[in-house]
């Protein structure tokens, strides 16, 4: 079966219903055995289009998540789990029918709640900062763990408190405008047929264009 058809079906269901289709639903949709769907999902996961759990079910199709990782994203009539700070801010840019989304989370440092109306027009106001724990070269070692540690904190003081409490090493800290710029065009095309991931050189150019630099991102 055509793996691109399967990828589009997963993304379309995530985008409009907030959760991915099951293997049985995909098999019924395409009129094929469940084993054929399982194989297509494995191919897509090996190409990093999807993330599967140990049972072969879809856990993530960036920027969408089937499990809570610290963020909720609310549109006009659909509620999603945001895969991380990056993914949550990216959703309004990908879901062009949504004029804005409400992104909500809690600071991992002090548990204070935060929410922003995120649009495509400009970054939301706020002095909060995003902290990315895992360097880019290791992000796909355990991508669910990585996404679960791309969080938004009240301020750098809360980042420091959390690092001291958890014993983690400081990663990369950015303000909300940088996070918004970073998220704005990263997932462009993921809902379209024939989407291909950026080549490393193009990804590096994109990161520099939004103000990210340094070895954390694999940039010299």
User: Model confidence over 117-156: pLDDT tens digits?
Assistant: 999 999 999 999 999 999 999 999 999 999 999 999 999 9
pLDDT of res. 196 = 87
Q: What is the pLDDT of residue 81?
A: 97
Q: Measured over all CA atoms, what is the biggest interatomic distance in the chain, rounded to whole angstroms?
A: 54
Q: Say how far residue 50 (Cα) sits from the centre of its chain.
A: 11
| % residues pLDDT > 70 (the chain) | 100
Among 210, 121, 137, 145, which Cα is nearest to 174's?
210
To 10 degrees, the CA torsion angle through 62, 67, 70, 74? 70
Q: What is the pLDDT of residues 198-217, one digit of tens each?
A: 898 999 999 999 999 999 99
Strands of 129-132's sheet, edge to edge?
A: 150-153, 129-132, 172-175
At residue 180, the 3 state secondary structure works out as helix
- Given a cut of 90, whether residue 26 has pLDDT beyond it is yes
Sign of CA dihedral 204, 208, 211, 213: positive
Q: Does the predicted model carry a pTM greater than 0.85?
A: yes
């Amino acid at each position: 079966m055509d793996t691109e058809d399967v990828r589009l079906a997963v993304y379309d269901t995530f985008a409009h219903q907030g959760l991915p289709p099951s293997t049985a639903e995909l098999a019924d949709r395409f009129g094929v055995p469940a084993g054929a769907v399982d194989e297509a999902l494995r191919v897509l996961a090996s190409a990093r289009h999807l993330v599967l759990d140990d049972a072969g079910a879809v856990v993530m199709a960036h920027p969408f998540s089937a499990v809570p990782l610290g963020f909720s994203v609310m549109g006009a009539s659909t509620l999603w789990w945001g895969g991380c700070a990056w993914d949550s801010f990216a959703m309004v840019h990908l879901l062009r029918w949504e004029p804005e989304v409400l992104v909500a989370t809690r600071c991992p440092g002090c548990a204070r709640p935060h929410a922003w109306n995120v649009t495509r027009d400009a970054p939301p106001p706020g002095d909060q900062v995003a902290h990315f724990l895992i360097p880019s070269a290791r992000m796909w070692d355990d991508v669910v763990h990585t996404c679960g540690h791309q969080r938004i904190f009240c301020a750098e003081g809360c980042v420091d408190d959390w690092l001291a409490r958890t014993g983690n090493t400081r990663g990369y800290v950015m303000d909300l405008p940088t996070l918004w710029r970073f998220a704005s065009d990263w997932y462009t095309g993921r809902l379209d047929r024939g989407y291909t991931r950026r080549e490393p050189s193009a990804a590096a150019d994109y990161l520099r264009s939004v103000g990210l630099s340094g070895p954390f991102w694999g940039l010299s």
